[in-house]
Structure formats: structure tokens, C-alpha cells
Amino acid sequence: MSTAEPGDLVRVQTERKRPLGTGLWSSTSQISLRFLGPEEIQDERAWLGDRLRAALEFRQSLEIDATAWRLVNAEGDRLPGLIVDVYGTGADRIVVLQTLAQAMDRRLPLIAELLVALLAPAGILARNDPRVRRLEGLPEVVEVVHGHVPDEISVLEGGLRYQVNLREGQKTGSFLDQRENHAAAARYARGRGLDAFSYHGGFALALAQRCDRVLALDSSAPALAQLRANAGQNGLTNIEAREVNVFDELRELEIARERFDTIVLDPPAFAKNKASVPRAAAGYKEINLRALKLLTPGGMLVTCSCSSNVDEGLFQQILMEAAADARAAVTVVEKRAQARDHPILLAAPETHYLKCFLLRKLA
């Protein structure tokens, strides 16, 4: 193993030299080896091409009601360290990818070439600005690797149209993993709605189709400006966007005895690492406690955690404690995860990073 170069394909074997398969080697990461499977890979082009085609065939089978979707979800598609998202359709289609490990970054030109053959996009953007690349000794860069890529693109999700900033938006431009949870929240929405940590308004726009009015809270003025623009583009006039510290505003709303029939909590990841889990748990409990106090009897709370270090069991325990402190009787209506085009690898619990509970307050 000491002779392997950064990003090499390596053969994996037991201490007794029994072959196990093939992996990707990293010279700097805490994850030194990313296992690919039992096969011996001889032709990298054929291997990558086969897995990209398999990923596309699966997404096509899902009949996704959106023009923005994920093609490759790293380990979930047996392509660790690679994220590929697709925005738009036809001749205007743009691919945004991230190579988050040495091996995938080294193969970026080949990956781009294969994606051009597979999807014929107008352009491919490498959004290689996540800080996690530092763990692989890789620079943080954003660059066009094929064709032309506009700063923004208009996409559809469940009949709603919104703008995505491909170069500066979160992740590859938008939170595509919440798409199906937006639709789930809308199914239960009614009355007065509250969307906390709203960002560009994925949940707020969905709620506004069913609620009388929606209050959207976020600390980012640019994000709220985009939310207002998205609302206007869809003819939704019942959303109020408020720039606030969300923790403080939830307390102020409680003090003012405000009440809501539908509440969404979709905060950023509170636990970036295992050491931050206790503090994150306290944060999750705080916002869910406030939300349950603001919720009317019979109302719905859609509450999320995208912290991979907070597993579903711990998140449910936090919600139970919040309900007890709020003196609220609560039932679980649905347990959800990331959208189906973000598959979870059963052998890698970390890939189940997004937890979404739909709770009903009885009293």
C-alpha cells in the first residue's frame, strides 16, 4: 500500500493475501480506502461508464416530478467521493458535479467526458468548493469543465418554478434532497404556516399553496430576497419573509402567544462532527420545544435534521424530550429521509444523513 499514489485504484486483500476486491486510495484523508466492490477493475472508462449509466437508469425509473435531480449520490451509487446533479432539460441542461476525494478529482476529465456522452449537457460546472476537500489535500475551486454555464437557471419542482444560483447556492445550487419532503409537508399543510430556516423557500412555497398565509424566517438577507423572487415568480402573495435570528424569533413568537397550524423546521447541520453532538442535541431540542408550544392542537410539525452525526434514534429521542417539556401529546405521522434520488447505502449509515419527522400535536 505504501507504493500507491494519491487516488490510485488498489487491490484489497486480507492479511493472508486473500483477494477482497478493489478500492480507491487516499494519501491524506482519514478515510484511506473507499471500497468499490469485489470485482477487479481493469478498464477505468468501462467501470465509470457502467456505473454512471446504471445511476441514470435508476433515476429514470423514479419518474421524478422536477427538472432538478441527483444523478450520482457518492456511496449510494458505488461512486464514493462523487456527486452529480442535473439542472434543466434538453439543450439547456446543466450538470453540476463535486469530486470530493482524491480518486474522483484525479478522474474529473474522464467523468466530464462520460457525462457529456451520457447527457449531452450545455455545460458542466465543477462546484469543488466544499471545505471537506481540505481533508483530501485538494483546493477549493469552482470551474467550468465543459461548455457554457450560466450563473442562474430556472427549474421546476412539483409545478413550482424557482431560480437556482449554480455558482453560489448551497450544495450544488439547491437542496434537492428535500424535494419529496416539500411535497409531503404540503399534503398536510393548512391554516397559518411557519417555515423556520427557510433559505430560498422550498418549504415556504410548498406550504403557501395550501396555507392561508406563511411566515418564513431566515438570517440571510440574500436568501430571503431570492425567496421573495421565487414567490413572485409563482404568483404567491401570502408569504411574509422576515430576516431574523431564528432561535430568538421563535422565543419572541412564543412570548407574543402567536399560534400556527403548520410549522417546518429545516435548520442547517448543527453537528459537523461527533464532538459537537451534545451541543447540537441541545439546539435541536430548543427549536422543537418552541415549535411545539407555537403549534395549535391538531397542527403538524415537519422537523428535519441533516446532521449525519445525529442518527434517527437520537433525533427521535430529542423530539420526545422536547414534547415532554412542552407538555404536548405528539404522534408520528411519517418518518422520512432524503429524496429517492439520494439513495442510502445500507452498509454505510452515514449516508442516511437527512431525517424528517412529520408530527401531529394532539393537545
Residue positions annotated with a catalytic role: 306
SS3 235: coil
CA distance 153 to 135: 31
Residues in the chain: 363
CA distance 83 to 210: 33
| 197 neighbors 170 (Cβ within 8 angstroms) | no
Structure-block grid coordinates of residue 141: 475551486
Nearest to 102 by CA among 73, 74, 137: 137
Amino acid identity, residue 148? H
Q: What angle do CA 102, 104, 10 make, to 5 degrees?
A: 70
DSSP H helices, the chain, are: 44-62, 102-106, 108-119, 179-188, 202-208, 221-233, 246-255, 277-294, 312-325
